[in-house]
Amino acid sequence: MTFKVIVPEKIDTREVLDFLANVYGPTYDKAYRIFSSVFLGEPSFKPDNFILARETNGQLVGVMRIVEREIWVAGAKLTSGGISSVAVHPDWRRQGVCSAMMKRSVQEMSRRGMDISVLHGRKVLDGFYTRFGYRGIGRYIDLRFIDLTESPVLLKTEKYKPGHKKLCYRMYKKNYHSLPGSFNRSPAIWNWLLKRIESGVFPAVITIVKSGKIPAGYIVVKDQKLIEIAVPAKFYPAVISWFKHRNLESVSLHPGHPFFDYCRRHYSTIFQERRPLNGGYMMRAIKKNPRLEDICFHTSVLDEV
The per-residue pLDDT for range 248-262, each reduced to its tens digit, is 989 998 888 999 999
**Residue 124 above 60 pLDDT?**
no
Please compute the mean of the pLDDT values over residues 63-71 and round it to a whole number: 96
pLDDT the model gives residue 289: 72
**What does the pLDDT average to over 238-247?**
91
**DSSP per-residue string spanning 13-50:** HHHHHHHHHHHH-SSHHHHHHHHHHHHTT-TT-SGGGE
pLDDT at res. 204: 95
Give the containing element (helix H, strand E) for 108: helix 97-111
Contact 168, 259 (CB under 8 A): no
Higher per-residue pLDDT: 250 or 278:
250
pTM confidence score: 0.89
Please report the pLDDT score of residue 123 as a whole number.
65
Which residues in the chain belong to E strands, given as ranges?
3-6, 50-55, 60-73, 76-88, 116-121, 135-136, 140-145, 157-159, 182-183, 204-211, 214-222, 225-230, 250-251, 269-274, 280-285
Report residue 291's pLDDT band, with 50, 70 and 90 as the boundaries. Answer: low
pLDDT at 209 over 70: yes
- Over residues 3-57, the pLDDT tens digits come to 999 999 999 999 999 999 999 988 999 999 999 999 999 999 999 999 999 999 9
The percentage of residues in the chain with a pLDDT greater than 70, rounded to a whole number, is: 91
- Is 1 a residue whose pLDDT tops 80? no
pLDDT of residue 293 exceeding 70, the answer is no
* pLDDT greater than 70 at residue 126: no
